Structure 1
Amino acid sequence: MLESKMKLVGKIREAHGLKGDLYVLVFSGEIAWAKRMKTFGLKAKDSDEIKTFTVERTKPFKKGLIVKAAEVADRTAAEGLEHMEFFIDDELMVSKPGETIFLSEIKNFKLKNPEQTVLGEIVGFSSNGVQDLLVVETTDGKTAEVPFVDAFIKKIDFKHQAVVMDLPEGLFDIENA
């Protein structure tokens, strides 16, 4: 697997049980993709190499999931993987029509107001603990965080790679971003 095709979604928290199961802490807590996962990648923080593992089984657990990999025979082997970064195929992070989107699907989309004026480009994501925030690079090169909440979202246009939002006056003032 190539890293460009892989998405970092969590880390191995610890070995689980005696048979080599891994407790994966998933950063978002969202694991809808887990049932479709056939392989995953692990990478040490000080390495560029992602090693691929084959999934035998998964199950939801706490703030993530338990994964059994064919290549991990026992608890000792699982303990050797603790704290590694956990990657999945980025194709698992694509929503179907009618499903809630994954934020990564709108990265690099233009942020527009209802009049179709481009306010900036979505370059990343953050959170204030209550809601997701879009990190937007404004047209003048500054950075702003915009709450990504249903009340503001008017349209997500995948064809034109744009998110149209009707933001309260002053929330996203390009002059003061």
Structure 2
Amino acid sequence: MGLVQIGGWDNRRVSVLVARIGKPHSLRGEVTVQTHTDDPDGRFVPGAVFATEAQPGTGVPRALTLRTSRVHKGIWLLAFDEIPDRTGAESLRGTKLFADEGEAGDDADDDGWYEDELIGLRAVDPAGTELGEVVGLDIGPAQDRLILRLADGTEAQVPFVEAIVPEVDTESGRVVIDPPPGLLDLGRE
């Protein structure tokens, strides 16, 4: 799982994405979540505080305190102290929840990158030919995807897996993309 730095938090702190909120579940403010952690039992404990990332104008608080958690038919349901009802829960749809991982540095995940470290990297193929630029990171349920702006101005999504992205070199400002044939053409007409 890649590391993500939350704007406004202490820059020496590392936060990781642990869930993305889905739809409301009950009248009491519960929401479904898509988990992005390998330890939901350890993360989703009452009293845990999560930083949030939501669309501007939604009114979502910058942090949410977990009131309850449970699994229903294989889906995690969470409720927060700040969200008392279904109307409030509806405003959370699409919100990302982040947990503080402590100090960056020696304890940081060596295989992770801050999203801000990836954005702006030049994307090149294994021969060094310029493909475009990394403009985003989309966290998905099965795998994350780099969002590239290609040389012709179109965007492409590339699975952020070692087989397709064999090298990320933030020092030199580049990422090597070895896409299977046609991957960068998906979505173009």
Partner of 2:31: 23
Deviations 1:1-45 (A, max 9, x none): xx95598932342238xxx5623333xx423486185135497x8
Cα–Cα, structure 1 residues 69 and 130, in superposed 2: closer, same or farther, change >3 Å? closer
**Which residue identity is paired with 1:55?**
L
Partner of 2:168: 156
Partner of 1:82: 89
**Which residue identity is paired with 1:116?**
G
Cα–Cα, structure 1 residues 78 and 135, in superposed 2: closer, same or farther, change >3 Å? same
Structure 2: stretches of 5+ with no match in the other structure: 1-5, 10-16
Cα–Cα, structure 1 residues 32 and 84, in superposed 2: closer, same or farther, change >3 Å? farther
Question: How many residues align structurally?
Answer: 161
The offset of 1:148, in angstroms, is: 3.9
SS of structure 1 residue aligned to 2:90: coil
Partner of 2:81: 70
Q: Percent identity?
A: 19
SS of structure 2 residue aligned to 1:55: strand
CA distance in 2, matches of 1:42, 1:125: 14
CA distance in 2, matches of 1:106, 1:135: 10
In the superposition, the TM-score normalised over structure 2's length comes to 0.54
Partner of 2:59: 49
Superposed CA RMSD: 4.7
Worse overlay, 34-43 or 155-164: 34-43
CA distance in 1, matches of 2:136, 2:115: 9
CA contact 2:122–2:175 (8 Å) conserved in 1: yes
Cα–Cα, structure 1 residues 108 and 49, in superposed 2: closer, same or farther, change >3 Å? farther
Task: Say if 2:97 is the partner of 1:97.
Answer: no
Greater gyration radius: 1
Partner of 2:25: 14
